[in-house]
Structure 1
Amino acid sequence: MRWVRWCIVIFLGIAGSAEGQSAAAGLYVEGNQLYRAGDFSSARLRYEAAVRTGIRDPRLLYNLANATYKTGELGLAIVLYERALHLAPRDEDILANLRFLRRLKQDRDPEPASGLGGFIERVYLWPTSDELAVGWLLSLLGLFGSAGWRRWRQMPVLHTGVAVGLLLCLSIGGFALSRSQRDGRVEVVVTHAEGIARSGPDAQQTEVFVIHEGTKLVVERSEGDWYLARLPSGLGGWLPASVLTEI
């Protein structure tokens, strides 16, 4: 029914024309119905068509990732879950499915850090870039509010408040800059059965290592149709772009 489609449009937060919103909502509904019926290939086609309308919604990407995995493409499913995670960093369903698929792939990921190092890493990764930006803005407003107090020169406690505000502002700003640089990295996933990393951007160069479908790397630079990419372990090599998909 038409009202159901419009409710889903609002729920998804789709941007664009009314016609595009209605079409995308219809595709999303059809995809869900086909998925529940076990027709994963057709469901995937509907979700992909909805994505092409310009939707940026983690639930749509999550459903598309589910259908993609069901049709046998583990690497591409991981890419789609990662894209959904960028939009909803703390979504437990996305995180759970990502953990599940990572256990299925051939190459093992490094064990997460434990103890104090692991705690610091989790704290570092917990806030989103948007939350850090809001925190920095609030600390900046607090700093100016303290500094603008009419009698702050006669009140030592406000000297302390300004100093604390400045320290907080600089700390959050530095933290946000560090995270923005990290979040701005180009990450790729192997979406073919395997990829052969070489010592240079040419198929005749020496083989360095072999990686398999689903493995994630960070791109350092590109040359032609080749990427110089690095594993979390630090090992790097040149891989053909044809075996990789950008997150």
Structure 2
Amino acid sequence: MTTYAPTTGAELALRGVGLGRSEDPVLDGLDLDIAPGELLAVVGPSGCGKSTLLRTLAGLLAPLDGRVTQDGTPITRPHADRALVFQDDALLPWRTVRANVELPLAIRRAGTRAERRQAAASWLARVGLAAHAHKLPHQLSGGQRQRVQLARALAGGPRAVLMDEPFGALDAQTRADMQDLLVEILHDTGATVVFVTHDVDEALYLGDRVALLGSGRLGAVLDVPHPRERGADTAALRQRILDSL
């Protein structure tokens, strides 16, 4: 049983997507294409619909208008092909760290129980938590819990990973470490990623493109010339994004 075999990223698309009351929509006529294997960072002010966008892509919220598709097929419900990672770790507090990582594999009935345990152990080693497998989530730091959540999300081999400000509550150094870990792991998986953040610098470091969302409407979608290069000269692009928020 492979633990992080390369995958083919999903192609995600929204066409005329609307959600919410007509006089005050959360999303309004949204059109967006996300290429297979792309990391799209989404930035915008609080309440502009970023989390709603992720939940719509996940199949947790059905749009009132328009279509949401994966590889051309309508998204109508959650699927193991799409993993959600939240800012709040959402780990099951009564399950050990290893059991939390095993969960998506158990739901998919992937391999034998022994194989699932081995896969979970491999993922925990991958995120630097092999020694913490038998602990409960409350015994870990915030950064460690986010590592577990990342391992759990990717253990099932999803083709799309939808991340809702997963590092927003972490201190600056832990946040930078988690960003680097995410870059390293995603290089191996090939998954498509939609990453919501308030942090423009985080968006510019992680994203192949940055989508600007405001009041449920999509503004510019900007190419990042040097994604995943710390210290790259993105000052002009950063200022353009800040001016748009």
Larger radius of gyration: 1
- Bigger strand fraction: 2
Q: Which has the higher contact order (CA 8 A, sep 6+)?
A: 2
Same fold (TM over 0.5): no
Q: Which has the higher helix share?
A: 1
Question: TM-score if structure 1 supplies the norm length?
Answer: 0.28
